[in-house]
Structure 1
Amino acid sequence: MKRHLLMLARYNAWAIRRLYEHVDALSEEDYRRDAGLFFKSVHGTLNHLLVGEHLIWYVRFSDGISPRRSLDEEVETDRARLKQSLLDGAARWQPFIESLDDARLIGSLSFNSTKGVATTLPFVPTLTHVFNHGTHHRGQITAAITAMGHACPELDLLLMLREEAKP
């Protein structure tokens, strides 16, 4: 289980770095315009990833804290600082997962939802959800970038695995 979670953490960090190779090329107008995404713009979706992955889920897993935050909260208005926060946040998952023992992995995670509902779920599937959620929203961003007429990255997990397998 731990090896699989570590792979997902590596993929999460790899995919956000690769996505930003194309997000950085967007004009400010394209970056912030309503592209029809659930969180409207590329910027709004990236803010959602910061809130969800790092300001809510990471602290639930690492600190046992259930912050009450809005999922559409704009926590970072500056795109360069948002990028750095996402990269830094993605880098924290792998050392955290390395620190987990088997008892924690086979256990559960208890937390309060953003609406305050007490919830207990199996640890590994819930952590898998965090990485899957990021994949979902990165896919939305790549679709928006493509619809704007820009090139977008391929973010398939197999590409990362092939890169890692190269001598």
Structure 2
Amino acid sequence: MAELNPWHIHFARLARYNVWATARLLDAVAPLSDADYRRDMGLFFKSIHGTLNHLLVGEHMLWYPRFARGVSPKLELDAEVEPERDRLGQALKGGAANWLPLIASWPAERFDATLDYTTTKGVPVSLPFAATLAHVFNHGTHHRGQITAALTALGQPCPELDFAYCLHEEAAREKAA
């Protein structure tokens, strides 16, 4: 394991938030009927299912291999890779948990380097590593926000997903320990 520096601490915190928010969102989505879950809600990826599926594709099937192995899979952003909602939820939870050990494994200087990859359209790109990693977690927050808006439109309760609530829960657990 690499020596932890402020980058490790920051991105580990974002990765823990991603795990926390993903679980809370999936709990909120679970009671939906299949019709509501798959209904076109006017989201970029149409439905709650389409948006969750996009999160699996983008975060775990495209970005994770780029960061973990330096490979750029060829997948469309709207490819339905898991039609079964329970398996999709489990894949999202498992994928979110994978980021924590990956982040801890990087040497400190990795965060100041670049991430070189190929886009889904085959274009080679080189971007700042830390900023691109921030994009991965920001992207998840963006799409979870779309799903919470869809839940509200469906008249369903919406989970509180603000990062500060995750931090409050972490602080309370640390205090109790």
TM-score, normalising length: structure 2:
0.93
Alignment of 1:3-152 (within 5 A): 3-152=9-158
Give the deviation of 1:13 after TM superposition: 0.5
Structure 1 distance, partners of 2:32, 2:159, is 13
Give the match's secondary structure for 2:115. strand
CA distance in 2 between counterparts of 1:90 and 1:102 reads 22
Distance of 2:23 and 2:136 partners within structure 1? 17
1:56-89, CA deviations, whole angstroms, 9 ceiling, x for partnerless residues?
0000000100111100000000000000000000
> Tell me, what secondary structure is at the counterpart of 1:11?
helix
Give the CA deviation at 1:4: 0.4
Give, in whole Å, the separation in 2 of the partners of 1:26 and 1:100.
39
Between the two proteins, the alignment pairs up a number of residues equal to 167
AA in 1 matched with 2:71: I
CA RMSD, Structure 1 to Structure 2 (Å)? 0.5
Offset at 1:21?
Answer: 1.2
Q: SS of the residue aligned with 1:109? A: strand
Q: 2:14 and 2:152 mapped to 1: Cα distance?
A: 25
Q: Which amino acid aligns with 1:60?
A: R
Structure 1 residue 131 displacement after superposition: 0.2
Q: C-alpha separation between the residues in 1 aligned to 2:16 and 2:134?
A: 13
Aligned partners of 2:82 and 2:15: how far apart in 1? 23
Which one-letter code corresponds to 2:23 in the other structure?
R
TM-score (norm 1): 0.99
Q: Which amino acid aligns with 1:53?
A: E
Identity of aligned residues (%): 59
1:12-34, Cα deviation, whole Å (9 max, x unpaired) = 01000000111001111100000
Shift of 1:5: 0.4
Distance 1:60 1:77 in 2: 24
